[in-house]
Amino acid sequence: MAASTVEGPVAHHFNNMGQQLATVRFGMWLFLVTEVLFFGGVFCAYTAYRIWYPKDFEAGSAALNVGIASVNTFLLLASSLTITLAIRAAYVGNQGGLVRNLLLTIVLGSAFLGLKAREYYLDYEEGLMPGTAKVMQKQKVEQNGKEVEIEVAVPKFDIALEEALKREHFKGEAHKDYDPSRVMLFFMFYYSMTGLHVLHMIIGIGLLTWQLILARSGFFAHKSRYVYIEVMSLYWHFVDMVWMFLLPLLYLCGPHTSSQAIEQFKMAIGLSHGGH
């Protein structure tokens, strides 16, 4: 059995490098198992309600900014590429390449987060926040054959949703196809799922930054330590993978068009101003 091809220090409780590398890698895979089930739980809840309320979920999805999401998809994919390049750089001992690629990964990840933050802000501005807040609204009702105007308390969310759907030219016949309180359920999932994803990205970027610092200090001069970049990449790829499912389940679930996506993205980054 050939000894491992890479050199580097072996921790006291391991017998050899092969054992150490395999153990580290295995540990990360085990961790990913828990991550799969962690996300699996929310996805399962999502699916259950999607089965019950398909129309409401589509309506909710229609109100989301699919432009940002589309661009973000490619950012994440690119970051997955750069981190793979970083492993290779560490593996062959190319310190400059390692630093460069780690940095790129961090930049791409941060760009994702930046756009995501923008998206949250837009949602917030549109009032698409689940909650019990209500506003008073004038409504015309029939009373004794006469039309009178009265003030009623309407959930803020309902109004915001209606306006957002109008803006997105949602074709589903409003008020018939969806029930705002169930769309709110969709939004709960939207925020929880993307929130969890964002949380994972933030942790990932933190770890990457740590590795970047290590890389600059020459920690990865021992080639065997490429394995730490590798396990980092496993985590990062996994986060990417979660996004691959968030995209169709949250954003592409409702009716959208590509022109709409482009328009939304332009608007989000300030190149155009909403209205059509």
Partner 1 sequence: MADILLEPARLDYTPQMLPEPEVSFEKHPEHKHYLNHEYGLLSWLLTVDHKRIGLMYLVSVSIFFMFGGIAAGLVRTNLITPTGAILELDQYNKAFTAHGTIMLFLFLIPVIPGVLGNFLVPMMIGAKDMAFPKLNLASYYVWAAGALFFVWQLIVGGLDTGWTLYPPYSSKYSHTSVMYAGLGIFITGFSSILTALNIIATVHKMRCPGMTWGRLPLFVWAMYATSVIQLLGTPVIAVTVAMLAVERMVGVGIFDPNLGGDPILFQHMFWFYSHPAVYIMILPGMGVINEVLTCFARKNIFGYKAVAWSSVGIAVVGFLVWGHHMFLAGQGYYLAMVFALLTMLVAVPSAIKVFNWTATLYGGSITFQAPMLFALGFIILFTIGGVTGLFLGTLGTDIHLHDTYFVIAHFHYTMVGGMMFAWQAGLHFWWPKMTGKMYSDFWSRLAAIVMLVGFALTFLPQFAVGYLGMPRRYPNYPPEFQIYNVLSTAAAYVQGIGYLMPIFYLGYSLFAGKAAGNNPFKATGLEWQTSSPPSPHNFETTPQVYFGPYEYAVADGLKIIPLNDGKIHDIVHEDPDLVGTTPKEATHGS
Partner 2 sequence: MSHNPHAAVHEEESVHHEATPDAKSFVTFFVLAGLALLALFVGFSDLGSTKVVASLAVSTVQACVLAYFFMDLRSADKLTWLVAAASIFWTFLMFLFILTDFLTRHLGVL
Considering only residues 181, 202, 221, 269, which one is a binding residue for partner 1 as defined by CB under 8 A?
Answer: 181
152 binds partner 1 (CB under 8 A): no
What token pair was written down for 32?
A: 């990913």
Considering only residues 180, 240, 264, 268, which one is a binding residue for partner 2 as defined by CB under 8 A?
Answer: 240
DSSP output for the chain: -PPPS------TT-SSHHHHHHHHHHHHHHHHHHHHHHHHHHHHHHHHHHHH-HHHHHHHHHTS-HHHHHHHHHHHHHHHHHHHHHHHHHHHT-HHHHHHHHHHHHHHHHHHHHHHHHHHHHHHHHT---S--EEEEEEEEEETTEEEEEEEEEEHHHHHHHHHHHHTT--S-TTTS--HHHHHHHHHHHHHHHHHHHHHHHHHHHHHHHHHHHHHTTGGGSGGGHHHHHHHHHHHHHHHHHHHHHIIIIITTS---HHHHHHHHHHHTTSS-S--
Considering only residues 7, 9, 16, 41, which one is a binding residue for partner 1 as defined by CB under 8 A?
Answer: 41
257 binds partner 2 (CB under 8 A): yes
87 binds partner 2 (CB under 8 A): yes
Closest approach, Cβ 163 to partner 2, in A, equals 23
Considering only residues 244, 269, 271, 274, which one is a binding residue for partner 2 as defined by CB under 8 A?
Answer: 244
Of 52 and 121, which CB lies nearer to partner 2 in the complex structure? Answer: 52
Contact window for partner 1 (CB under 8 A) among 101-109, 181-189, 222-230, 253-261:
181-189
Of 86 and 160, which CB lies nearer to partner 2 in the complex structure? Answer: 86
Q: Which residue from 157, 236, 241 is spatially nearest to 191, judged by alpha carbons?
A: 157
Binding site for partner 2 (CB under 8 A): 1-2, 4-5, 14-16, 18-19, 21-23, 25-26, 29-30, 32-33, 36-37, 40-41, 43-44, 47-48, 51-52, 66, 70, 73-74, 77-78, 80-81, 84-85, 87-88, 90-92, 226, 230, 233-234, 237-238, 240-241, 244-245, 247-249, 251-253, 255-258, 261
Binding residues for partner 1 (CB under 8 A): 12-13, 15, 19, 22-23, 26-27, 30-31, 33-35, 37-42, 44-45, 48-49, 52-53, 56, 130-132, 179, 181-182, 184-185, 188-189, 192, 196
